[in-house]
Structure 1
């Protein structure tokens, strides 16, 4: 199975990276060491915040329609080896031990408009 994902490791965070997913957006990844979880902020080319989310296992990172956010792929934090179990584990926090090692930010099929 050939999977595509956003390249990210725990050693990089905090980091801001640009990704072309429909359009180019900046993704800012931050880590909350107090409660061991990650957040993602998506910004437009002018640096305006479009969307902020806590990264949860097997839960789409963008779960609503947002003006100005035209990402054409689902982004799903998932361990590729647990695809069949994903619905059971859905909603678990993605933490320092798992991000970029067992859990990748997988890209779904391109969504046509």
Structure 2
């Protein structure tokens, strides 16, 4: 028979393991933001169903994995523009200029100057 506190300790251990998985996904997005990333691949790496990853990530970080990735790309583009570095669409994981400008305008309020 289990002791009374063991059930809650196991639940807490599961919760912490779930947060660690989400942190690994977030770290992967931060590290590989310039590469093509998709949510199903991130979910597979985390060992979670796509829906669970999207909901859990949203609860933990306030936005979906895709929105987090888009915001990171916009932040990096704005930083590069601020420091005078050229911003290339290939560095941002997008195929075209139009998508880059529109996404950055949505996320940061302004699009980068693309070269």
Give the TM-score taking structure 2 as reference length: 0.25
Greater strand share, structure number: 1
Q: Specify the structure having the higher radius of gyration (Cα).
A: 2
Give the TM-score taking structure 1 as reference length: 0.26
